Amino acid sequence: MLQHVYERAARARRLAAVWVATDDRRIFDLATGFGARVLMTSPDHVCGSDRVAEVAARPEADGMEIIVNIQGDQPLIDPEALDRLVEAFDGEPDLQMATLFEPLRTMEDLLDPNVAKVVMDVGGNALYFSRSPIPYRRPGHNLSGCWKHVGVYAFRKDFLFDFTQMPRGSLEAMESLEQLRVLEAGHRIRLVPSAGVSLSVETPADLERIQAIMTS
């Protein structure tokens, strides 16, 4: 799974470098074995963004303005979606953070707390993320306008450092969604459409779905 994520990310045109960041020697050895560039990090990080911030502060990331956090559980991530995520910052010097979204396609996903949902404003910025079904659907309404959050984040480097220093808000604590820290602090997150179907492995059933797709 990790190899698929790394190789797909490496095909993105707008990513100058791709690293696997880990505190686990087993992952280090595995990723090195399939040719990835790997960086060992502290074992004390609370979330993935903290780990990415450690890497962004190293000499290897000097001169890189946009930092993209790609989680290792998304083997179907589309390289073109990663390019669009980086391109969202072009010509928008005030934009500090962006993430991916796509349509919700099934009622099962709408009701699944492992699938984060998002609602947006008319400018394409996130209003709220939740594990609950949002927006509320009155009887007779279909899934039109219901969006799934794809957990890939892009930050301007300085804002990534600021983000890791922000206090954890009550919304993040309740939902266990770190991106809510940004909204609760009054910052905006641009939503960028993904491509195809982006599935992450949160449960054994997710792994079975992805294996079926990749072998079909």
Which tens digits make up the pLDDT trace of 131-148?
999 998 888 788 888 999
The two structure tokens encoding residue 194 = 């993904």
Give the integer Cα–Cα distance in Å for 163 and 57: 14
**pLDDT score of 68:** 98
Cβ count near 191 (within 10 Å):
24
Model confidence at 88, pLDDT cuts 50, 70, 90, reads very high
Structural domain count of the chain: 1
Q: What is the pLDDT of residues 197-213, one digit of tens each?
A: 665 656 666 666 666 55
Looking at residue 55, which CATH number applies to its domain? Answer: 3.90.550.10
Q: What is the pLDDT of residues 18-56, one digit of tens each?
A: 999 999 999 999 999 999 999 999 999 988 899 999 999
**pLDDT score of 140:** 74
Which residue type, as a one-letter code, is found at position 108?
E
Provide the residue range defining the domain that includes 86.
2-215
Indicate yes or no: pTM above 0.85: yes
Main-chain dihedrals φ then ψ at residue 206, nearest 5 degrees: -60, -40
Segment 111-127 mean pLDDT: 96
Q: Out of 74-78, 119-123, 155-159, 196-200, pick the least confident.
A: 196-200
pLDDT more than 70, % of the chain:
90
Show Cβ contacts of residue 206 under 8 Å, excluding neighbours closer than 6 positions.
114, 199, 200
> Which carries the bigger pLDDT value, residue 195 or residue 37?
37
> What string of H, E and C letters represents the secondary structure of 40-71?
ECCCCCCCHHHHHHHHHCCHHHCCCCEEEEEC
Q: Is the pLDDT reported for residue 90 higher than 70?
A: yes
